[in-house]
Amino acid sequence: MAAVITKPEGLLYDGADWDYDKIKRVYDAIEHVALDEMGLNVYPNQIEVITAEQMLDAYSSIGMPLMYKHWSFGKHFARDEMLYRKGYRGLAYEIVINSSPCISYIMEENTMTMQTLVIAHAAFGHNHFFKNNQLFQQWTDAEGILDYLEFAKAYITQCEERYGHHAVERVLDAAHALMNQGVHKYPKKRSLDLRLEQKRERERQEYQEQTFNDLWRTVPKPMAGGARPSKTVSERKKLLGLPEENLLYFLEKKAPRLEHWQREILRIVRHIAQYFYPQKQTKLMNEGCATYTHYTIMNTLHDKGSISEGAMLEFLHSHTSVVFQPEFDDQRFSGINPYALGFAMMQDIQRIAENPTDEDRYWFPDLAGRGDGMGALRDAWANFRDESFVLQYLSPHLIRKFKMFSVRDDAEDPYLLVENIHNERGYRQIRKMLARQYDLAFLEPDIQIVDVDLAGDRKLILHHRVTNGVLLDESDAKAVLRHIANLWGYEVQLIEVSAVSEAILKEHAVTAPSGVGA
């Protein structure tokens, strides 16, 4: 029975075990399909084989291969490790990093079919998305990120040596608490260059050390409350660039009591938050793109006879569990599965482009029947984020397929109200509401620094513009304010203001941290 033992003609691999030769063969085959047939455009790839423990490591440091040290990463590791060891949770098959070269981690435990799937998914699907989506192009610097993290890690270690663990931890804690409020939401004139960042910091430090003069310390400080002309509120706000929604940025630039190294740490955390900002906005599309890519590639390979029926079945088993969408009344339901909806939308776009129905022609006049489905997808991947993508492409066909309906939950009513279902009247409403569920600007509370009296008591005033009457979680808000006060050095006040009526709904205040203060 030699035929059973020898590898059938044309197969890239056989059996479950993987080795480097097989991976190389499979990679080349996938690359051919992805680049030549699907027209993807990717960063050079780097595939790293890791163990389960290293995967846990990567989990805890938010997926990055190197990260500065902080207790919160240890906490996440401890929890993930326990969940994993007790079998409550499996591990991801892969982690992929938006860098150039694009690094994909694959686990040694995976079978060869899983490795094939992972390479198609991460090294081509995600990679293409990272390289081509405009949000990533605009906000992240794929070439510089690893070097920057290296710098950040070294810098923070150095700070720990110079100023002590505790002092550094205090700043990092505060910075982490403000991470969601630490991104610029509008592009700057100059795009970010992380390499320049390191250079800038090094030069500044050198300059300071060269020009250090102890005499300055002895210069008498101006008397407090000196005769300074008091400015009008609007002038003052203009001077400070208020209102400012990037709290970390404001504190880094304007907080009066911070040392230079503390500002630099805020800056590091801010850059990292900014780096992840596009990923938060494109979860659905990113996974949809990667899932669609691996699905197409695996099918193409199978059609060509490059992978066996058994491998295909294994792949399909894993694929269907990834794109499974439990219904709302299912115990397993935990929101809309981005893999499921993303994948379905990608397939739907291709269907509309190639085989439209009359309904599609009515809803998508530009897209329907355009023919080149892959081209339409590449356009979508390059130019949208989740919110606009759903708003643009969610078709009635899919709304019916998922049987979506919208529910209004008004705390003042004793029941929930079904507002729209999957019918003619509901399509547009449901699409709009679903798009809003992916809109970060809507999901995250709108918090801005509106005023600070620099000449007076230096109280920092923040506003939370309350939409739909949903206030902030009180205990957390208080804790974050405490962190802000630690950085700012003076009293901090947060006022929750209704976005509709401008009425003040609630106030939180935290006094100046002890130990400082004039």
Partner 1 sequence: MNIIDRRLNPQGKSLANRQRFLRRAKEQVVKAVRDASGKRGIQDIENGEKVTISTGGVREPSFHRSGSGGVRDYVVPGNKEYVEGDTISRPEEQGGGRGSEGSPDGEGDDDFRFVLSREEFLDIFLEDLELPDLVKQKVKQSESHSLTRAGYSVTGSPANLNLVRTMRNSLSRRIALKRPKPAEVAELEDLLREAEDRGEDPEVLRDMRSQLERHYLRAKRIPFIDPIDVRYNRFETVPKPIAQAVMFCLMDVSGSMTEHMKDLAKRFFMLLYLFLKRRYRSVDIVFIRHTHEAKEVDEDTFFYSTETGGTVVSTALEEMQRIVKERYPENEWNIYAAQASDGDNMSSDNARSAGLLKDAILPLCQYFAYIEVAAEHNMGLSALGRETELWRTYKMVQGPDLPLAMRRVRSRREIFPVFRDLFAREKAGA
Report the residue number, 331 or 514, with the smaller CB distance to partner 1.
Answer: 331
CB 28 within 8 A of CB 35: no
Token pair 């694959």 is found at 106
Q: How far is the CB of 194 from partner 1 (least distance, A)?
A: 22
Report the residue number, 376 or 404, with the smaller CB distance to partner 1.
Answer: 404
Report the residue number, 21 or 366, with the smaller CB distance to partner 1.
Answer: 21
Give the orientation angle of helix 52-60 with respect to helix 71-85, to 10 degrees.
140
Report the residue number, 452 or 462, with the smaller CB distance to partner 1.
Answer: 462
Q: How far is the CB of 47 from partner 1 (least distance, A)?
A: 5
Cβ neighbour number for residue 512 with a 10 Å cutoff = 19
Both tokens of residue 62? 């938010």
Report the residue number, 101 or 369, with the smaller CB distance to partner 1.
Answer: 101
Give the C-alpha distances (Å, rounded to integers) separating 513 from 370, 463, 487. 63, 21, 9
CB 394 within 8 A of CB 341: no
Report the residue number, 9 or 409, with the smaller CB distance to partner 1.
Answer: 409
Report the residue number, 49 or 316, with the smaller CB distance to partner 1.
Answer: 49
Q: How far is the CB of 246 from partner 1 (least distance, A)?
A: 13
Q: How far is the CB of 408 from partner 1 (least distance, A)?
A: 5
Give the pairing of strands 45-50 and 94-97.
unpaired
The conformation of residue 33, written as its DSSP 8-state character, comes to I
How far is Cα 92 from Cα 59, in angstroms, rounded to an integer?
9
Q: How far is the CB of 466 from partner 1 (least distance, A)?
A: 8
Q: Please spell the DSSP secondary structure of 45-82, one letter per residue.
A: EEEEEE-HHHHHHHHHTTT-SS----HHHHHHHHHHHH
Report the residue number, 24 or 185, with the smaller CB distance to partner 1.
Answer: 24
Q: How far is the CB of 468 from partner 1 (least distance, A)?
A: 4
Report the residue number, 155 or 197, with the smaller CB distance to partner 1.
Answer: 155
How far is Cα 348 from Cα 451, in angstroms, rounded to an integer?
49
Give SS3 for 434.
Answer: helix
Report the residue number, 35 or 454, with the smaller CB distance to partner 1.
Answer: 35
How far is Cα 504 from Cα 101, in angstroms, rounded to an integer?
50
In one-letter notation, the amino acid at residue 455 is A
Give the pairing of strands 492-498 and 460-466.
parallel
Q: How far is the CB of 54 from partner 1 (least distance, A)?
A: 6
Q: How far is the CB of 363 from partner 1 (least distance, A)?
A: 18
Phi and psi at residue 15, to the nearest 5°: 85, 175
Closest CA to 54 of 40, 64, 42, 44: 64
Report the residue number, 253 or 506, with the smaller CB distance to partner 1.
Answer: 506
Cβ neighbour number for residue 151 with a 10 Å cutoff = 20
Identify the H or E element spanning 104.
strand 102-107
Report the residue number, 204 or 403, with the smaller CB distance to partner 1.
Answer: 403
CB 391 within 8 A of CB 432: yes
Report the residue number, 334 or 514, with the smaller CB distance to partner 1.
Answer: 334
How far is Cα 330 from Cα 333, in angstroms, rounded to an integer?
5
Give SS3 for 20.
Answer: helix
Please report, in angstroms and rounded to a whole number, the separation of the first and last CA atoms in the chain: 89
Q: How far is the CB of 389 from partner 1 (least distance, A)?
A: 15
CB 449 within 8 A of CB 242: yes
CB 467 within 8 A of CB 499: yes
Q: How far is the CB of 266 from partner 1 (least distance, A)?
A: 16
Q: How far is the CB of 399 from partner 1 (least distance, A)?
A: 9
Both tokens of residue 80? 């993930």
Query: Up-side HSE of residue 288: CA atoms within 13 Å toward CB?
Result: 28
Q: How far is the CB of 86 from partner 1 (least distance, A)?
A: 9
Q: How far is the CB of 49 from partner 1 (least distance, A)?
A: 5
In one-letter notation, the amino acid at residue 252 is E
